[in-house]
């Protein structure tokens, strides 16, 4: 009787087992078929910590302005630890005022609240503000950069070296998509309120209004961060995040040839990630 029941159980369970296996295989392997026209990329479901996709994720590249995620991390940490206050006036040095590239056009000799400088860094990628913040929190840029590398080591960013607080080109400065994923996930866990800044599409300082270069904020549903970057030697980068329901994804894309390609491939990656999460029977 018992032995005769085994084939019946197999016939009943067989289709369900096969369906379960197919669902698992499709959710686990579909991203492996994804092809991106960028140098490197990685995608993580921050809710579970599961890596959904990698492509050359450990290849080192100059970080450009996604470096500012680490600088903002240290600034938020200093505020949380009570070492500085958001309302602290920061005296702008000649070095900060003369810093080129993306900027909020701060004037040497002026005093600007720390929180305004942090907005400039997060929203319009202000290199001048990054130097001013580094000098204020670290005592000088060199001291702040030492803290950056120490924090990167603590977080396990084993393939990264930083030479300045803003990502302007510097010999020997590099990071990887995986290391930036490690940084971004810890940053968002520790400082979720930072998205209030990163999600702002515009920032105005002294009657100069500039737009956030993260185009996903305008075109991709539920995107609310995080940081873009560009340098001639490496191309266009982004650390992007979006949340749907209870799922937050983080995508890092590095080395796109144009801003349009960066946006397109990042959206493609996020779309695939949300599809995978929906298809995974282990979710929910």
Catalytic residue among 27, 40, 65, 215, which? Answer: 65
CA dihedral of residues 220, 223, 227, 228 (deg, nearest 10):
-10
Q: Any catalytic annotation for residue 125?
A: yes
Q: Any catalytic annotation for residue 233?
A: no
Q: Any catalytic annotation for residue 185?
A: no
Catalytic residue among 27, 93, 102, 125, which? Answer: 125
> What is the 3-state secondary structure of the chain?
CHHHHHHHHHHHHHHHHHHHHHHHHHHHHHHHHCCCCCCEEEEEECCCCEEEEEECCCCCECCHHHHHHHHHHHHHHHHHCCCCCCCCEEECCHHHHCCCCCCCCCCCCCEEEHHHHHHHHHHHCCHHHHHHHHHHHHCCHHHHHHHHHHHHHHHCCCCCECCCCCCCCCCCCEECHHHHHHHHHHHHHHCHHHHHHHCCCEEEECCEEEECCCCHHHHCCCEEEEEEEEECCCEEEEEEEEEECCEEEEEEEEEECCHHHHHHHHHHHHHHHHHHHHHCCCCC
Catalytic residue among 27, 40, 68, 163, which? Answer: 68
Active-site residues, by number, are 65, 68, 125
């Amino acid at each position: 009787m018992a032995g005769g029941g085994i084939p019946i159980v197999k016939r009943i369970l067989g289709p369900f087992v096969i369906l379960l296996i197919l669902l698992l295989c499709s959710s686990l392997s579909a991203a492996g078929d994804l092809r991106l026209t960028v140098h490197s990329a990685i995608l993580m479901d921050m809710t579970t910590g599961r890596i959904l996709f990698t492509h050359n994720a450990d290849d080192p590249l100059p970080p450009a302005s996604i470096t500012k995620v680490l600088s903002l991390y240290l600034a938020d940490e200093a505020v949380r630890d009570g070492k500085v206050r958001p309302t602290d006036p920061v005296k702008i040095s000649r070095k900060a005022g003369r810093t080129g590239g993306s900027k909020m056009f701060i004037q040497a000799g002026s005093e600007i609240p720390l929180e305004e400088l942090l907005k400039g860094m997060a929203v319009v990628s202000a290199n001048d503000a990054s130097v001013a913040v580094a000098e204020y929190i670290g005592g000088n840029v060199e001291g702040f950069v030492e803290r950056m590398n120490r924090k990167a080591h603590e977080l396990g960013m084993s393939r990264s070296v930083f030479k300045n607080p803003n990502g302007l080109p510097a010999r020997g400065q590099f990071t990887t998509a995986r290391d930036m994923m490690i940084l971004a996930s810890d940053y968002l866990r520790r400082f979720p309120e930072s998205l209030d800044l990163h999600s702002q599409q515009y920032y105005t300082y002294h009657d100069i209004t500039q737009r956030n270069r993260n185009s996903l904020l305008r075109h991709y549903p539920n995107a609310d961060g995080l940081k873009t970057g560009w340098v001639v030697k490496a191309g266009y980068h982004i650390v992007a995040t979006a949340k749907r329901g209870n799922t937050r994804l983080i995508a890092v894309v590095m080395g796109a040839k144009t801003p349009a390609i960066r946006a397109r491939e990042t959206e493609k990656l996020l779309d695939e990630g949300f599809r995978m999460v929906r298809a995974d029977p282990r979710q929910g």
